[in-house]
Structure 1
Amino acid sequence: MASVIPSKYMSTSPDFPVHFHGWLRIDKDGRCERFTGNQIEPPGTDLSTGVQSKDVVISLKSNVFVRVYIPKNTVHTNYKLPTLIYYHGGGFLVESAASIVYHRMLSLITAECHVVAVSVNYRLAPEHLIPIPYEDSWEAIRWVATHGNGNGPESWLNDHADLQNVFFAGDSAGANIAHNMGIRVGMDPVNDIKLKGVILIHPFLGGNDPIGREGQDEKHRQHKEFMDAMWKLANPSGVVSDDPLFNPGLDPRISSFGCCKILVCVGEKDKLRSRGLNYKKVMERSGWKGKIEVMESEREGHVFFLSNASSATACILRTRICTFINPIRSKA
């Protein structure tokens, strides 16, 4: 792997056989040290939005938890809201549902879209290799479904979550997960949940053959090699970049996608933009009967909204997500 990745992205040494610069390194004893995504925000009441949140462990065996969000002044009401199940990004290697950037983002989305949000803290590679992140994500969906009759373990979901109006969303690797969960729901429907739509923000997708900008200039070629190496680190037993989990065009199950609408968000300067645009073509050719929409953020790079949530383009992006989830309320 190291031999094909430019040294600006990755290096090796006797003490650190794997070193992804700026991301993580693995020492010779197998211990993983992460350099990003470590800044944590505890749950509670967000001062800027009034959104309330709490962490709930959904599996004592794996210690996987979700962070549940409800809008301001919701806790003492009894009306139901659309339910958003969200998967964070980070290349399957870094970040968490408790990361400060994701906590702030989910607080804003919860307030602006007026939803109940469930942010999933799936386990990370390389300690927990694929398919574990997908299995944790699927377990979270099934846990949410236990609240369908109002007798689940979490009162906020019992009281406020409309499970007949569910959306999956994620950014980067989380968008990859949201896509694959959409297929899985289509193949294996979950009782008490109706999936209405899926939102893929700057999706982390790939394939052995370069497409679009990936084959046009050296920076994009090197970036593709780096993304492929990250995928291989998270999924060393897969079929490299043409694994159907990573290359949706090779997934024979894709036409069974479990909802009727998808929103794909791309950034004009994101080096994964070509993959996001190609995803629309893949879905339209697949035999899937739904509708797919694309939104492009001008002059913006990969997951820009995490570092600059108050920018005009980040606000426009969140507004588009809100309209996708609840078009009637957005027009009101």
Structure 2
Amino acid sequence: MASKEIEKEIPTYITLYKDGTVDRPRQTPYAAPSLDGTPHVSSKDIIISQNPSISARLYLPKPLPQTHKLPILVYFHGGGFFFESAFSELYHNYFNTFVSRLPVLVVSVEYRLAPEHYLPAAYDDCFAALQWVASHSSNNTTEPWLIDYGDFSRIFIGGDSAGGNIVHNVAMRAGSEALEEGGNVNLLGAIYVHPYFYSSEAIGSESVSEHEKSLGYIVWDFVYPNAPGGINNPMVNPFAPGAPSLASLGCSKILVCLAGNDSIRDRGVWFFEGLNKSGWKGKSELFEEAGEDHVYHIFHPETEKAKKITDRMASFILD
């Protein structure tokens, strides 16, 4: 049988064929949720929207608190905007470990992926998911875990890699659009874990001569081929000419987490320093783990260094 013609690809990551089919060789398998699957965590899947298709996996710690409600973490998974899933083995295992260490209600969002749905679809989906969560503050929707156990005065957003980029764009949008009319809703904080940012100019350890061939450049072109401004679109370059000021970020505290061996580590520093010069009035924190690579804690959530970053997130959320 003749091989299919390739439309475009990022070798070893994703291939789009001319017949519209897509291969994602790094995608990890689906994992089922479980109300009683682990000693310390319950999980279930819910539908947020049919059109567009947005869903989520919810996680609750066990035993449940009897006298107080839990902070809510709305989470956006990584995967370059084109692979991985809130329902994958990788993220399911991560959140089972995460929630066993941290008393928080997690809403892990399943958003639409490129190339079937190019950006800004993922941004729109994730903001819609946050609005859906916030809508439960006035009890006008039907997800009992949120109504019964969620503290809407302590909502956080978080994400890793591409998900960290989504965190930023959702936080910017939350600074100008209401999450919920009425109700006691407060987007308190944002957690940027190994966030993906880029620009046309190389910074730090990035190669000037190879910059336009780098993975950061290639990914953006793949997932948002018609982005106004290209790699200097404000959604990936928050300091591009004409980009909205970070002073308008819609949360009061931010934690940026980095890994010392991560190829985009310097971009995280670049963002953190720019944030602190932007006029934003919130509180910013930086956490870096030396000697570790990109999203090490997602791949190996049981390690001591993974527990260390989880404990830092816990202090940020519970403080």
Query: Above 0.5 in TM-score?
Result: yes
CA–CA separation in structure 2 for the residues paired with 1:308 and 1:138: 29
Match of 1:196 in 2: 188
Q: Which moved more, 1:221-230 or 1:164-173?
A: 221-230
Call closer, same or farther: CA 1:203–1:223 in 2, change over 3 Å. Answer: farther
Match of 2:198 in 1: 206
Call closer, same or farther: CA 1:222–1:319 in 2, change over 3 Å. Answer: same
Match of 1:101 in 2: 90
The one-letter amino acid paired with 1:321 is M
Residue 291 of structure 2 is aligned to residue 291 of structure 1: no
Richer in helix (by share): 1
CA–CA separation in structure 2 for the residues paired with 1:23 and 1:91: 9
Match of 1:36 in 2: 26
The one-letter amino acid paired with 1:166 is I
Deviations 1:150-177, CA, capped at 9 Å, x for gaps? 3421000000000110110000000000
CA–CA separation in structure 2 for the residues paired with 1:232 and 1:24: 13
CA–CA separation in structure 2 for the residues paired with 1:322 and 1:49: 20
Aligned partners of 1:46 and 1:107 also within 8 Å: no
Aligned partners of 1:254 and 1:286 also within 8 Å: yes
The one-letter amino acid paired with 1:24 is I
List alignment gaps of at least 5 residues for structure 1: 1-12, 328-332
CA–CA separation in structure 2 for the residues paired with 1:211 and 1:127: 32
SS at 1:110's partner residue?
helix
CA–CA separation in structure 1 for the residues paired with 2:137 and 2:213: 42
The 5 A counterparts of 1:1-332 are 15-45=5-35, 47-74=37-64, 77=66, 79-191=68-180, 192=183, 193-215=185-207, 221=210, 225-238=214-227, 239-250=229-240, 251-327=243-319
CA–CA separation in structure 1 for the residues paired with 2:202 and 2:251: 29
The one-letter amino acid paired with 1:58 is I
CA–CA separation in structure 2 for the residues paired with 1:299 and 1:47: 33
CA–CA separation in structure 2 for the residues paired with 1:35 and 1:91: 13
Cα offset, 1:124, TM superposition: 0.1
List alignment gaps of at least 5 residues for structure 2: none
Aligned partners of 2:76 and 2:109 also within 8 Å: yes
CA–CA separation in structure 1 for the residues paired with 2:92 and 2:36: 9
Match of 1:4 in 2: none
The one-letter amino acid paired with 1:266 is L
Cα offset, 1:253, TM superposition: 3.7
CA–CA separation in structure 2 for the residues paired with 1:268 and 1:223: 23
CA–CA separation in structure 1 for the residues paired with 2:47 and 2:199: 35
Aligned partners of 1:183 and 1:253 also within 8 Å: no
Call closer, same or farther: CA 1:224–1:164 in 2, change over 3 Å. Answer: farther
SS at 2:151's partner residue?
strand
Q: Which moved more, 1:168-177 or 1:28-37?
A: 28-37
Q: Which moved more, 1:248-257 or 1:157-166?
A: 248-257
TM-score, with normalisation over the residues of structure 2? 0.93
RMSD between superposed Cα atoms in Å = 1.9
CA–CA separation in structure 2 for the residues paired with 1:203 and 1:49: 32
SS at 1:148's partner residue?
helix
The one-letter amino acid paired with 1:51 is V
Q: Which runs of 4+ in 1 moved over 3 A?
A: 45-49, 221-224
SS at 1:213's partner residue?
coil
The one-letter amino acid paired with 1:65 is S
